[in-house]
Structure 1
Amino acid sequence: MLMLTTHALAIPLEQTNSQTIEKTNEQSSEPLTEQESELPADSLQQSKTPVQSTKLALEIEALKAELIALTESLGQAKGDDFSAIQLQLFHKNLELRRDIDEAIKSETIPIDALQELVRSQVQYVESAINFLNTKTQDVSENLSNAPAEQRLLVLNSFGELQALIDLIYQWSAENISWLNALKVATVNAQGNFNVKLQGRIRMLAASINYYHRQRQVLQQQISASPLSEKANLEVSLLAVSQRLTIALKSLKAMIKLAKNAGIETSQYQQLMFESTGELTYEILDFKVLGGIFANLGEKFVNWLMNNGVQYLFKLLIFAFIVFIASKLAKLTAVAVNRATSAKQVNMSRLMKDFFVNMSGKVVLIIGIMIGLSQIGIDITPVLAGFGIASIIIGFALQDTLSNLASGMMLLIYKPFDEGDFVYAGGVNGKVSHMSLVNTTIRTFDNQIIIIPNSKIWGDVIKNVTQERIRRVDMVFGIGYKDDLLKAEQILTEIVASHANVLKSPETIIKVNTLNTSSVDFIVRPWVKTDFYWDVYWDITKEVKLRFDREGISIPFPQQDVHLHMVEPESSTIAQVPKT
């Protein structure tokens, strides 16, 4: 980086007048007078001035001597030695500027000597800017002619040049502030500096706009180019992006200098915001905000004038397609509802609701997809996104999907339907509601139990009310001493007299078991499912009443225990000896 400033650094430093520093040294080395030695305590700082002046002046003189010597040896150096001397020259000048700034602030060196030092720095800055501008043009030409694979290397030198130019402009502004502090007229210097600064800012702004357009063109070419050409285009895009970054960095530094110089910079701050998107405190400036909103409004108006009619027409087409799709979805749902409600179709309520809801939603989604494609939106990424999202959701909702799969199996095989009395998932009750995820059962004591479908499908399912008729199984016992035939006749009369007992299939009344304490009859009449419990309770009640009237006992479990006393034999009685 420092190789670029060699000659510019050497020119002004040789012209610096060293006599002013020597004069300062001579004045500061004179002994204190008697009156000066009796200064009060508050003048102590002034009494130290000659010592500080001597030290600072000697440092400045030493730095000047080193710079002149380095400049003379630069003409004989080559290769790495040449670069090393340039590096030393740059750092020595930085030290010299720090000493000059300290001397101006502390006022420890005569003004005429400081003025001469500052003038030398002004000459240095002018020479350095001219030299760096020339080098920038050379590097820009090399950058334009360099192959794509070497542009990034050349860009490093270009970026170093721009950073040096920014630094030189900062030095130039600092020189003017020094001259003001030394009471030197700077009207012409400030005016010339402002003109150069505004020119550089305009050049950087134009470069940024150009690089923006070039980057957009390259991005479009990359998206439309074959794979074999993308490599070179991507290298070019990277080079343009780096040049844009360099220009933005320089513009930021120049805007700061321009604001200190009282130059209007709102439009350039707006450009910085639009290019980087960075929110800084400068954005709070009303002029900057006004420019940003005005620019956005202008862009929106231009876009609306160029594309408004076209996009409005597309939006109308989209709205029309969605409207037609919604109407078709409703008609489809009605048609499917009628088809599934036909008597010929044996379909569960859950399956019916599923097909009705899904048919309408599918038609609506297809209509929306068609509408999106008509307004120019590629739905392929959307479909791909749905596929990826479904995989992620599948892993996250494994249990829910298991319930959903079980619900589909219940829908297909329909072991029960809403309104059936079932034993499922370990619960007895009436099916109150079914969905693809869970089933709601209302127990006989009016409790609501929600069971996941996976638990129902993985367990035993008993549907009590699915068949139209059921057999009522009952057992009645009589005593062994009761009239067997009479009891059978009574049971037959009771069953036959009940209005809800079906004639077909035929009722079965048979002697089934000779139990330990009773003779058991099985009574198995057939009834409609809805009258199952009515028949069961009515017959049980009537059997008890008739058996009591007819003198037939209904035994309960009992056992007869017989005790036999055994007389003990005399020979088995033990003789107890007397004591």
Structure 2
Amino acid sequence: MIRKFLLLFTLLALSFSTLAEPETAQSKLDDLAQLNQEVMALYQTSKSRTGSTRDVLRMQVLNKNDDLRDQLGQLISAPPEGAEGKLIDYVRHQIRYTAATARYLDQKIKVDEKALDSAPQEEQLLKQKQLDEERQLSVQMLGDQWTNYHWLEQLGIKTAKDKTKLAKDISERLEFVSASLEYNHQQEKELSKQLKDASDSEKSALQLMHILTQRKVSSDIDRLNYLASLGDKAEIDTSDYKKQQFEVTGDLTNDILNIQVIYSIFSAWTDNLKKWLVDYTPQVLFKIFIFILVILVFRLLKNLTRRVVKRAVSSPNLRMSQLMQDFFISMSGKAVFFIGLLIALSQIGLNLAPVLTGFGVAGVIVGFALQDTLSNFASGMMLLIYRPFDVGDFVEAGGVSGKVSHMSLVNTTIRTFDNQIIIVPNSKIWGDTIKNVTHERVRRVDMVFSIGYSDSIEQAEAVLHDIIDSHPAVLRAPEKTIKVHTLNTSSVDFIVRPWVKTDDYWDVYWDVTRAVKLRFDQAGLTIPFPQQDVYLHMVKQENLNASPSVHNSLLQ
């Protein structure tokens, strides 16, 4: 019983669906006819209007016609039985309508182009936007026409000749849009260059022109992209146009994976490289030759400048320190070579203004990053100006003692007495006490010698005077000083202070010290050394037998 009920229900459902199908197809045809009447009514109304009203009505016609084409396409993909003739009529009507719309758009584009050229600057952006929309609609008409011919083929009508003619129109439009894109892209790049060097009064006009050109380039790219996809349907070779689109936009699309497009891109790059080599190789080689020649000339000038500056700063009248002389000699050579480098770079076509600006910006950044180095640099300048020491001086500075070997603007090289090289930052030297041992040409040698309390002071003084007076390196002026200085705990101390040349300081110090020991021994004078007398007190036996308190007091 249930099976019979289900079978009956299925037969009823199939009968209802069979009856409803013709009604649905007929309703779609009726809707299509209604839309067609509305499109025709709007189109006829637009013919009698002018100005902006006519444009608005034509835009409504386009929108209505798009709806009509959507329904028409659905019916053609699954045409109802017996409706092929009506559908063919609708498609032929679309072919005529599309051709008429294309002619109207072409005429309007020409009028609007003239209006754009004569319009004030403040209105050009709005008119350019309207013109771009019209151009986009114009190329879309080619796509609609191609769809119309495809529909006729689906309905059994041959359109090979019409498609061939339309493919030719598409190819011509591709060439035109490609040329327009190339021209506008070149204009956009040229305006970008002009904007960089333009004055404030020129920038406003150039910026407007630059924006207009950018919009033209964007519109050309959209049209070229649409036409290229349409050209693929028409079996037109569009690899060059896709390559051009990639070169202008730099966008990676699926078209780039096409072998023909890749081959076209690499062929263009190869051709451009060959052309560049042929056109510019002699010029580049000549510029390289000039660059090298300028560098060599200024290198010679650098050495010549260093020699001239060296003679100038070495003059006794200037009284410059060796550090100051080295600084001026080094900086003069570097300055000449730097100027030569800038001139050489300008000869190869490099714009020096951005380079110098970059140096300025880099200098600020480096200044923040290298604050300690700049502190050393400033300290080096102060050392050069105030000259607390010079190359060859023995100094105690920055916690280091030794001979100044070399100095730059950021650090000082000191060679210690045991021949170690120590590089000290200038900021540490300038911020601490500086002791220059060899700054003066004459130094006093301070020595102390001792005799015992049992020795003769007069005899010791005579020996010391004889030793100092007989040494050839001791100066007669300033006068030496030999005096009894201190009655010490174990000795009588004499100060001996002869004056010598700075270079003879240590020789005199060591010679006199040796001579004093030998002469004191010969004269019987003793050189006391630290000593201490220890006295032992013996404790009697009866005190040991005393009470513990007494014993403790004795121990204390």
Shorter-chain TM band? 0.7 to 0.9
Are 1:366 and 2:339 matched, yes or no? yes
Where do 1:149-228 residues align within 5 Å? 149-211=122-184
Among 461, 465, 482, the alignment partner of 1:509 is 482
Query: In structure 2, how many angstroms separate the alpha carbons of the residues matched to 1:461 and 1:50?
Result: 115
Instruction: Report matched runs for 1:33-44 at 5 Å.
Output: none
Amino acid at match of 2:487: L
Q: Residue 158 of structure 1: CA displacement? A: 0.6
Paired position in structure 1 for 2:526 = 552
Contact 1:49 1:108 in 2 (8 A): no
1:523 deviation in Å?
A: 1.2
* Other-structure match for 1:255: 228
The 8 Å contact of residues 495 and 501 in structure 1, kept in 2 or not, is answered as yes
CA distance in 2: counterparts of 1:80 and 1:376, whole angstroms: 54
CA contact (8 A) 1:479 1:555 kept: no
Give the one of 14, 17, 31 matched to 1:62: 31
Note the C-alpha offset of 1:319. Answer: 5.0
Q: Choose 280-289 or 129-138, whichever is displaced more.
A: 280-289
Partner of 2:528: helix, strand, or coil?
coil
Deviations 1:459-478 (A, max 9, x none): 22111123334222122334
Q: Secondary structure of 2:526's match?
A: coil
RCO higher in structure (CA 8 A, sep ≥6): 1
Deviation at 1:161, TM superposition (A): 0.9
- Structure 1 residue 196: Cα displacement: 1.7
**Contact between 1:74 and 1:82, CA under 8 Å: does it hold in 2?**
no
Decide whether the 8 Å contact of 1:50 with 1:108 is kept in 2. Answer: no
Q: Distance in 2 between matches of 1:463 and 1:189?
A: 104
Paired residue type of 2:304 = L
- Distance across 2 between alignment mates of 1:215 and 1:175: 38
**Amino acid of the structure 1 residue aligned with 2:113:** S
Number of aligned residues? 520
1:32-431 mapped onto 2 (5 Å cutoff): 55=24, 58-59=27-28, 61-69=30-38, 71-72=40-41, 90-105=62-77, 112=84, 115-211=88-184, 231-232=204-205, 234-278=207-251, 280=253, 282=255, 284-294=261-271, 297-298=274-275, 301=278, 304=280, 320-340=293-313, 346-370=319-343, 379=352, 382-383=355-356, 386-431=359-404
Q: Secondary structure, in 3 states, of the residue corresponding to 2:404? A: strand
Secondary structure of the 2:106 match is helix
**TM-score calculated relative to the size of structure 1:** 0.73
Residues 536 and 224 (structure 1), Cα distance of their counterparts in 2 relative to 1, 3 Å cut = closer
Following TM superposition, by how much is the alpha carbon of 1:233 offset from its aligned partner in structure 2, in angstroms?
Answer: 5.4
Alpha-carbon distance between aligned partners in 2 of 1:214 and 1:243, rounded to the nearest angstrom:
10
| Residue in structure 2 matched with residue 24 of structure 1 by the alignment | none
Report if the CA contact (8 A) 1:204-1:247 is conserved: yes
Separation of aligned partners in 2, 1:355 and 1:256 = 71
Q: Name the amino acid aligned to 1:336.
A: V
Residues 482 and 552 of structure 1 are in contact (CA less than 8 Å); yes or no, is this contact kept in structure 2? yes
Distance change >3 Å, CA 55–CA 397, structure 1 → 2:
farther
Correspondence for 2:495 among 522, 528, 536: 522
Structure 2 distance, partners of 1:429, 1:223, is: 57
Asked whether the 8 Å contact 1:63–1:92 carries over to 2, the reply is: no
* C-alpha separation in 2, matches of 1:334 and 1:191: 83
Give the deviation of 1:65 after TM superposition: 1.9
Structure 1: unaligned runs, 5 residues or longer: 1-33, 39-43, 564-579
**Hey, what's the Cα distance between the residues in 2 that align with 1:278 and 1:372?**
35
Distance in 2 between residues matched to 1:500 and 1:69, nearest whole Å: 127
Aligned residue type for 2:374? L
Provide structure 2 residue ranges, at least 5 long, that are not aligned to the other structure.
Answer: 1-6, 538-556
Counting aligned pairs with the same residue, the percent is 43
Alpha-carbon spacing, 1:56–1:557, altered in 2? closer, same or farther (3 Å): farther
Aligned to 2:542: none
Q: CA RMSD in A?
A: 4.5
Separation in structure 2 between the aligned mates of residue 50 and residue 542 of structure 1, nearest angstrom: 143
